[in-house]
Amino acid sequence: MEIKKIFVAGAGLMGGGIAQVCAQAGYDVTMRDLTEEILEKSLKAIHWSVGKLVEKGRVKGATDEIMGRIKTSTDLSGAADADFVFEAIIENLEAKREIFKELDRICQQPTILATNSSAIPVTEIAEATQRVPKVTGTHFFSPVPMMKAVEIVKGLGTAEQTIEIADKLCRSLGKETIRVNRDVAGIVLNRINFPSTIEAIKLVEAGVTTVEDIDRGMRLGFGRPMGPFETADMTGLEVGFNAMMVVYRETRDEKFHPPMLLQRKVKLGHLGRKTGIGWYKYDENGKKLGPAD
């Protein structure tokens, strides 16, 4: 199966990043979200990111040429002629099932549907469609243009051919793939990462150390480009919280239960850069000002 046209459902941090790497790799992309305002904001961010990568010689081609491959839509009907669909909406099972049901109705029969879910099992999403063998998981990491890993997840009913096509496509985007053969909540890398993030929050909660020192320590001691609190602010605290809860509900293992401090921040709406405050404070341009109180 040859992939030429790609549809991305969701124009947030992840959806915009996926659309960007697809366009950089030469694919025609339609990116969809609920409003023109969201789409315009995403295009602006993509244009800036592509420009920087072109300037540094990391991406071939001109910025305008790459941007010309991305179309936008507020309607799912744009997926009708897509060969492959990436879903990158909120981490909510019912919302994902609803959009997959609609995509299943709109898309041609050969079209593969892939969820970028970081925690929800593929099988539970695929059940909303009539094409279970053609539904898979393609879990990208943020920021998508920079992070190389993609987890390719096989649901209980996913066909091997679907996995192979998804794997080949993601590698054509310049990614390195990790095969996940058993469909579990949290997939692989988040199942490893969540307990360390939760422990970091607990250490701050107990007054053992600070958000800044943990982030600095993880960068210096483990070579991570960003610490756990910086990463959480970039992706959104509610995203991590919801993903942790998905894993906790399936496993009932306390090591995955979100700490109280994280719960309080989410309830207060302290979600990171997008709200101007999370683990750190930010100005209106998203520049870090310092740790949150």
Active site amino acids: 118, 139, 151, 190
CB 133: neighbour CB atoms within 10 A? 15
* Overall size of the chain counted in residues: 293
Q: How far apart are the first and last CA of the chain?
A: 53
Q: Can you tell me the distance from the alpha carbon of 141 to that of 178, in angstroms, rounded to the nearest whole number?
A: 12
Q: Which two tokens stand for residue 144?
A: 């998508």
Residue at token pair 């909510």: 92
The 3-state secondary structure of the chain reads CCCCEEEEECCCHHHHHHHHHHHHCCCEEEEECCCHHHHHHHHHHHHHHHHHHHHCCCCCCCHHHHHCCEEEECCHHHHHHCCEEEECCCCCHHHHHHHHHHHHHHCCCCCEEEECCCCCCHHHHHCCCCCHHHEEEEEECCCCCCCCEEEEECCCCCCHHHHHHHHHHHHHCCCEEEEECCCCCCCCHHHHHHHHHHHHHHHHHCCCCCHHHHHHHHHHHHCCCCCHHHHHHHHCHHHHHHHHHHHHHHHCCHHHCCCHHHHHHHHHCCCEHHHCECCEEECCCCCEEEECC
